[in-house]
Structures are given as structure tokens and as C-alpha cells.
Amino acid sequence: KQGHIGLQNHGDGDEASFRNVRIKQTGAPADPRTGEVRGVNGKCLDVDNAGTADGTEVQIWTCNASAAQRWTVADDGTLRALGKCLDVSGGGSADGTRVQLWTCNGSGAQTWAAQPDGTVRNPQSGKCLDASGGTWNDGTPVHLWTCHTAPNQKWTLP
């Protein structure tokens, strides 16, 4: 979708001509935007018990390559796992608002934007994805919090 295609000659002074140049896709395209979302202490963003019910808690957990930790950064700004979207509960904006898995619905509560400082922001609330507390053990929930760029708000997206 982006970038360039280079056609090369053999050296200085060589003349090259091309005719009927075509681009053809071979096989299914790889999705480079699917994988683990890594956060504080190298833990992964994880859907609790790989649950798919609306409202399932999202937490951090030791990375284990499970489906519960396989996220896709979609073109519409959503983060998706298990066929659902990362969602701000009730579209809230208060510090501590729960982040959960929910059926994708196109709302601003499900839009996320990676920032140059490593934070992941929900533009609707202006708040950042945050691993709560200060211990960050397996099962630590994630929520919204005022952006401050501490380690518990730094994320690496696929």
C-alpha cells in the first residue's frame, strides 16, 4: 500500500528499458500488524481466560503466544483480539475507567492511536492505556489514565 518499487540497471552508463511492467500479488498478503502488544516488564496485553463475552477484562500477563494475546492493529484505529475490540467501558474518560473486550461497533471508545512517546491513546477520552498499580504482576488490569509516559503506559504494538 505504501513505498516504492525500484528497477535497477547494471552500472553507470548502462541503459535500461522496461516495457509492460506489472505488479502482481502472489499468495495472501502477510499481516504485519498482528501480534503481541507488549507493555511494562515485557508483559503482554491479554484477554482474561481468552473470554469473548462483551465486558471481558483485559490485563497484562506473561507473554505466551496464545490467541488471548494476539492483537491486530486495524486500519480503522481499533485493536482487535478474538474477533472483538479493545474498548473503554461506557465510553468513559475518568482516570481508572476500565478497558475491556467488546463487540466492535465503530465508536470512539474503541479507537486507539500509538503516540511517538510509546503511549497508546484513546482520542475520544484523551487518556492513555495504563497498567494499573505499581506491581504489574500477571493479571494486573489495564485501564485509562491521564497520560504521563511512565513505564506502565509504554506499549509496543505489532
Kindly give the confidence (pLDDT) of every residue in the chain, 158 residues in length, as a single tens digit, with 9 standing for 90 and above: 556 667 666 677 777 777 777 776 665 555 569 999 999 999 999 999 999 999 999 999 999 999 999 999 999 999 999 999 999 999 999 999 999 999 999 999 999 999 999 999 999 999 999 999 888 999 999 999 999 989 999 999 99
- Contacts for 55 with CB less than 8 Å, ≥ 6 apart: 89, 100, 101, 102
> In DSSP terms, which residues pair with 46 in a beta bridge?
59
> How far apart, in whole angstroms, are the C-alpha atoms of residue 37 and residue 44?
6
How do the domains of the chain map onto residue ranges? 34-153
The verdict on domain 34-153 having CATH code 2.80.10.50 is: yes
Rg (CA), the chain: 20
Distance CA 52, CA 83 (A): 8
Contact between 124 and 93 (Cβ < 8 Å)? yes
Does residue 36 contact residue 44 with C-beta atoms inside 8 Å? Answer: yes
**CB-based contacts of 51: which residues, under 8 Å, 6+ apart?**
101
